[in-house]
A and B are shown apart, each in its own frame.
Chain A
């Protein structure tokens, strides 16, 4: 049967494919532009660059402020990830299979940092810490970051728990295993990919956090995204392009590793 292609359909098809292609290009372009401009031999962010060199990567090696901030960010992100995973996995276990009203209340409480503007929370946390006489430090940063990163761990862990067949737990128990043994040998192995995906997202989102760090950081605990933002506010420095390229490459490698290990994209889409 011959398909009749009327004019509206033709226009629709051409425009939606063009738009989709354009969107795809716009998704990749920023990453490529940053990578290319970081190899410029000029002193501005001119695109395309007048010539190519590695000089801005040389500058990056000497950029001690960026190194200091990057190192702080990594330390805070690691501590945040550990704290979020320990608290988040326990929390997810408690609420995932429970039907009680209390569990639903806790679920809303744990997920609420995802919807509320983090900037307002960052400011509120600053006031609270100064009110109880706790000066801002790496500790306050880790606490603040954990509050906004824990929902990611809860979400991926809850999703993994929902796919765990209860019959497995029941048969383990009927074979005489206690709760702890069942958790170690049945539950944990099957939810591990979900937990790891959550941990990875928590790490990335802590490393990238601006709204909370903005208020809970000081000169001793400078954070990389804030340092870069302040550098960019002042002047458009090409060193930031080199720094950005390094971040992009590390993110890319970690994404590929996590995709292979735990099927990251499947879990992000849930």
Chain B
């Protein structure tokens, strides 16, 4: 008879149904993906070549991957600036206003992504609010094209993913000991110096966490990329969808999936490493 488990711990076998389901329906598909990627042709007749893989690593495939990552960087940067300002102001708001702001931040998080993207179609459209204001002010003579542009896409994605950035930032800034800021200002440090030398470095773990979530969400945002970016721009998710659905080239779609997966994993690991380093920095 094995040793009895303490009452506070639950037996590990309770996890077996979920573990089995995940192995069957999550891990196995990924293995199937790897297997299919070694077919030479779309008809999947000849197996055991790297033909599809070499296609991915040609100039076009790499430019799509590079462009997708660059989009992620642009969105994350814009999101960080906007999100940090909001988080910084949030912790200085009177306590009864804070739940309201949290609610405003969370509403888009739970609202359907198609709805959120649709809202930006209305805002950026030819007859949208931005064009209406600019025309009224006489800044422009005719409606500007904002939809289906890179700038439009970056702005939309940054706004759609904003909650993912703001929530970790608020947590991080709230955790900073208020005495540190007080000490800084009583020693004659200006608010700007306190921000640069205390708040910003100490909130690094939150910055890293927020950037990770925003970046991962921005590069995988299929709906926003396709509706706001339009047909002129090609990013990894749409590349994968086209090859799998419209062209039925499963082996190549598998290669795109795996390349994308590996890229995301590398980025996540890099962010996690940064996160650990920044936590070490923030506690010393």
A interface residues (Cβ-Cβ under 8 A, vs B):
3-6, 8-9, 11-13, 16-17, 19-24, 26-31, 33-34, 37, 44-48, 87-88, 90-91, 93-98, 100, 102-103, 106, 109-110, 112-113, 115-121, 123-128, 131, 143-144, 146-147, 150, 166, 169-170, 172-173, 179, 182, 201, 204, 207-208, 210-211, 214-215, 225, 228-229, 232-233, 236, 240-241, 244, 247-248, 251-252, 255, 259, 264-265, 268-269
Does B111 belong to the interface (CB within 8 Å)? yes
Taking a contact as CB atoms under 8 Å apart, the answer to whether B104 and A27 are in contact is yes
Does B1 belong to the interface (CB within 8 Å)? no
Does B274 belong to the interface (CB within 8 Å)? no
Taking a contact as CB atoms under 8 Å apart, the answer to whether B33 and A251 are in contact is no
Taking a contact as CB atoms under 8 Å apart, the answer to whether A30 and B25 are in contact is no
Task: List chain A residues, Cβ under 8 A from B22.
Answer: 109-110, 147, 150
Cα distance A21–B105 in the bound complex, in angstroms: 13
Taking a contact as CB atoms under 8 Å apart, the answer to whether A125 and B8 are in contact is no
Taking a contact as CB atoms under 8 Å apart, the answer to whether B222 and A211 are in contact is yes
Does B246 belong to the interface (CB within 8 Å)? no
List 11 interface pairs A-B (beta carbons < 8 Å), by A numbering.
Answer: A20-B86, A34-B122, A88-B18, A95-B12, A121-B26, A123-B253, A127-B36, A214-B222, A264-B106, A265-B99, A269-B167
Closest Cβ–Cβ distance, residue B232 to chain A (whole Å): 14
Task: With CB as the reference atom, state the residue of chain A lying closest to B243.
Answer: A123
Cα distance A210–B21 in the bound complex, in angstroms: 21
Chain B, residues 96-111, CB within 8 Å of chain A (1/0): the string is 0001011111111111
Binds A, one of B50-58, B59-67, B190-198: B190-198
Task: List chain B residues, Cβ under 8 A from A95.
Answer: 12, 15
Given contacts A31-B111, A232-B114, contact A147 B26 (CB under 8 A): yes
Given contacts A19-B82, A24-B104, A124-B29, contact A34 B115 (CB under 8 A): yes
Task: List chain A residues, Cβ under 8 A from B36.
Answer: 127
Cα distance A43–B162 in the bound complex, in angstroms: 31
Does B270 belong to the interface (CB within 8 Å)? no
Closest Cβ–Cβ distance, residue A177 to chain B (whole Å): 9
Kindly list the 8 A-B residue pairs having the minimum CB-CB distance in the complex, ordered from nearest: A30-B119, A124-B29, A94-B15, A120-B257, A19-B85, A20-B89, A94-B14, A91-B18
Closest Cβ–Cβ distance, residue A256 to chain B (whole Å): 9
Q: Number of contacts between A and B (CB, 8 Å)?
A: 288
Closest Cβ–Cβ distance, residue A34 to chain B (whole Å): 5
Task: List chain B residues, Cβ under 8 A from A28.
Answer: 104
Q: Is the interface of B mostly helix, strand, loop or mixed?
A: helix
Seed contacts A4-B190, A269-B170; 20 additional CB < 8 Å A-B pairs: A16-B85, A26-B159, A31-B107, A33-B129, A47-B128, A98-B9, A115-B265, A115-B268, A116-B265, A117-B216, A124-B30, A128-B28, A210-B223, A229-B226, A233-B226, A241-B118, A241-B122, A255-B110, A265-B99, A269-B102
Residues of chain B in range 127-157 having any CB-CB distance to chain A below 8 Å = 127-129, 132
Task: List chain B residues, Cβ under 8 A from A211.
Answer: 220, 222, 237
Task: List chain B residues, Cβ under 8 A from A265.
Answer: 99, 102-103, 106
Taking a contact as CB atoms under 8 Å apart, the answer to whether B89 and A45 are in contact is no
Closest Cβ–Cβ distance, residue B184 to chain A (whole Å): 12
Cα distance A41–B13 in the bound complex, in angstroms: 60
